[in-house]
Amino acid sequence: MYSYNQLFEFLLVIFQKMGCSKLDAEEISRVFLAAELRGLPSHGMIRLKDYVQLWQVKRINPEPTLKIVHQTLSTAVVDGDNAIGMVSASFAMKLAIEKAKTAGTGWVACRNSNHFGIAGYYSMMALDHDMIGICMTNANPQVAPTFSVSPMLGTNPIAVAIPAGKQPPFVADFSTTPIARGKLAVAEKKGEKVPLGFVQDAQGIPSDDPGILRKGGSMLTLGGDYTHGSHKGFCLASIVDIFSAVFSGANFGPFVPPSLAYLPVLETKVGEGTGHFFGAMRIDAWQEASQFKEKMDLWIETFRNAKPAKGNERVLIPGDLEREKEVQLSIEGISIIEPVVKDLQEIAALFEVSFPSNE
């Protein structure tokens, strides 16, 4: 087990050694560890290696100059100057919150950015301001549109955070596919098959092979097959892609640049970098804040009291599991699997610092 502070200090040093300012390095580190604490290690420490490799081949810019390139009272477009995703995303979300202070809502699209960790982090930034937060991003193409075999969309997540009063906030953060890419890798390592509805082969035939993506296969959108509404998942993934990339002038769909250094830079560009979309809405843009919170408490209590299905003990509100995990791991510490520890030790050696010992 590692404590939050051990890992935070380590990340902070690494990103500063890469050339990031202290403030930027702090924000990046917070997002990495938010993923760990919230039980999403696929977006946590395991990713540091990818970031370091992208930096080594100069495909991310640790010293970006962020610019607002277009704006109205309630909207803006940010050029991330090829920043590490957390830096441009955090800047853009803060801008959305500022816009909302005067206009009631604020909406910011960001281009020329990179992988930014968990979308939920940015949506939750709004909560402290008594605002609803929204965040979306496009991502590396591996998901096929309904009726197609071309991997053209990312797992394109949507995050929405809504403040409550006595109840903890509603925090939804979900990809627009049945499963995250990471689950396929885990199944493959274990030598297991996956249920139908997750992936298809190069012909578009449903497959249970978690390694099918390397054989010309692709992931399916939420819904899984047309009968079960995969075209609705395709609508959602498309909306995320358009809001993130067409709005901002980033690369969309199949042109999103790979967030892994061992994948070649794409030949065709239709915009700048990866795209994100952020929203912030003041709760008192809808009604008196205290009234809003009371109503939201009542909503949460009503749904928490839904009758559980046979074999289930309780009904979960979006965000419950992640919040409980956060409390648990803040006390117990964060565990990191051995192969990732090895990677981190190598990174430490590269930057001539020490990786904390596991105690």
Residue number, 45 or 158, with CB nearest to its own copies: 158
CB of 315 to its own copies, least distance (A): 4
CB of 250 to its own copies, least distance (A): 10
The interface mask with its own copies, positions 31-60, x = CB under 8 A, is ------------------------------
CB of 348 to its own copies, least distance (A): 37
Is residue 70 a contact residue for its own copies (CB under 8 A)?
A: yes
Is the dihedral angle over the CA atoms 294, 298, 301, 304 positive or is it negative? Answer: negative
- Cα→Cα distances 330→33, 42, 319, 333, 358, Å: 10, 18, 16, 6, 16
Residue ranges in 197-226 that form contacts with its own copies under rule CB under 8 A: 197-198, 200, 203-205, 222-224
Find the distance separating the first CA and the last CA of the chain, reported in whole Å. 6
CB of 314 to its own copies, least distance (A): 7
CB of 100 to its own copies, least distance (A): 8
Residue ranges in 300-319 that form contacts with its own copies under rule CB under 8 A: 302-303, 306-312, 314-316, 318
Q: Which helix or strand (DSSP H or E) is residue 345 part of?
A: helix 338-350
Beta-carbon contacts of residue 291 (< 8 Å; ≥ 6 apart): none
Among 38, 94, 276, 282, binds its own copies (CB under 8 A): 282
- DSSP string covering 224-269: SSGGGTHHHHHHHHHHHHIIIIITTT---GGGSPPSSTTSPPPS--
Among 82, 138, 177, 259, binds its own copies (CB under 8 A): 177
CB of 184 to its own copies, least distance (A): 14
Among 14, 25, 86, 152, binds its own copies (CB under 8 A): 152
DSSP state of 317: P
Based on its alpha-carbon atoms, the radius of gyration of the chain, rounded to whole angstroms, reads: 20
How many residues touch its own copies under the rule CB under 8 A: the total is 87
CB of 298 to its own copies, least distance (A): 6
124 in Cβ contact with 117 (< 8 Å): no
User: In which residue are the tokens 């952020």 written?
Assistant: 278
Is residue 271 a contact residue for its own copies (CB under 8 A)?
A: yes
1 in Cβ contact with 335 (< 8 Å): yes
Among 12, 149, 260, 341, binds its own copies (CB under 8 A): 149
Relative orientation angle of helices 22-37 and 4-17, to the nearest 10 degrees: 140
Residue number, 113 or 177, with CB nearest to its own copies: 177
Is residue 124 a contact residue for its own copies (CB under 8 A)?
A: no
Residue ranges in 82-111 that form contacts with its own copies under rule CB under 8 A: 102-105, 107, 109
Among 19, 63, 193, 286, binds its own copies (CB under 8 A): 286
**Which residues on adjacent β-strands are paired with residue 206?**
200
Is residue 292 a contact residue for its own copies (CB under 8 A)?
A: yes
Among 42, 53, 146, 167, binds its own copies (CB under 8 A): 146
Burial of 58 (0-12, 13-18, 19+ CB in 10 A): exposed
Among 125, 131, 136, 144, binds its own copies (CB under 8 A): 144
Chain centroid to CA 100: how far? 22
The interface mask with its own copies, positions 226-255, x = CB under 8 A, is -xxx-xxxxxx-xx-xx---xxxx--xxx-
Beta-carbon contacts of residue 276 (< 8 Å; ≥ 6 apart): 85, 88, 89, 92, 109, 110, 113, 116, 135, 136, 137, 138, 244, 248
Is residue 193 a contact residue for its own copies (CB under 8 A)?
A: no
Residue number, 62 or 145, with CB nearest to its own copies: 145
Residue number, 117 or 249, with CB nearest to its own copies: 249
Among 185, 186, 266, 285, binds its own copies (CB under 8 A): 285
- DSSP string covering 66-126: -EEEEE-SSEEEEE-TTB-HHHHHHHHHHHHHHHHHHHSEEEEEEEEE---S-HHHHHHTT
